[in-house]
Amino acid sequence: MTVTISNNSFTTTLQDLIKYPSSGILSKVLLKDNNSQYSLFCLAKNTEIEEHTSTRNAVITVIEGKGNLELEEKDIALAPGVFVFMPANAPHALQARENLAFTLALSEHLPVKKKVSQKTIDIVKSTAPVIKQHGQTITSRMYEIMFASHPEVKSQFDMSAQANGTQPAKLATAVYAYAIHIDDLGALKEAVNKIAHRHVATHVLPEQYPIVGECLLQAIKDVLGDAATDDVMTAWTEAYQALAEIFINREQEIYQTI
């Protein structure tokens, strides 16, 4: 269920909306406007969300269940009534020890603090030929890792396109295009817009970008082996985070028009 409301009152009974999946995460956007977004997250027992960051301030309010939140190297016990504020870009990870339900409130997007460094641009562009050569192997490996570690996201993908290689091929083309145009993102505007609309249609959320990034970076390491030096991985980490922010901001704009 997605509710889009701007400048209108809104009420619901959260307990009536709670529904736990057999495994993984079930999320529902309750309300979004020009400044914020409010979602309900239902996590099956033992579900883990690995460490990631968000470009937006966030607030967790626990409704039921128990779990643990690691926030900036602090261990916080989650139980009904617990309220947690997480500043933008703060590293955090979560584990549900029981079925766990909480609301997540996201603030408006913060302005981009800095552009990708010139060193990152130079390194990423230098890897473009090898990304072109091994791109589909990398993206196929990425999906393999992601579906194994985060099976809850499978429902957002066309698995037939996975089986016939169409989706990995499209993503490989997009990653290569980013590598060669990282210093000229205007050339990617049309592609970004098309992909962003597809993400909105499949209800992609900002919290899912760290999952994709983690799996993509691991796939690059797995496929490139010794060529994936520390400098290369650091550059691609920064490059991915910058690209994720572009998509998150564009998708937020699209969500607000639905």
Which two three-digit tokens encode residue 218?
């691991």
- Distances from the Cα of 209 to the Cαs of 52, 126, 182, 215, in angstroms? 9, 24, 18, 10
Out of 152, 207, 238, 251, pick the active-site residue: 251
Distance separating alpha carbons of residues 64 and 4, to the nearest angstrom = 25
Out of 176, 209, 240, 255, pick the active-site residue: 209
Query: What count of other Cβ atoms lies within 10 Å of the Cβ of residue 30?
Result: 19
Do 27 and 41 touch, CB atoms closer than 8 A?
Answer: yes
From the centroid of its chain, how far is CA 30? 18
Annotation marks residue 207 as catalytic: no
Give the chain's count of helices (H) and strands (E): 8, 9
Annotation marks residue 251 as catalytic: yes
From the centroid of its chain, how far is CA 157? 14
Do 213 and 74 touch, CB atoms closer than 8 A?
Answer: no
- Burial grade of 177 (CB within 10 A; 0-12, 13-18, 19 or more): middle
Query: What count of other Cβ atoms lies within 10 Å of the Cβ of residue 159?
Result: 12
Do 173 and 221 touch, CB atoms closer than 8 A?
Answer: no
Distance separating alpha carbons of residues 178 and 183, to the nearest angstrom = 9
Distance separating alpha carbons of residues 162 and 173, to the nearest angstrom = 15
Residues with active-site annotation: 209, 251
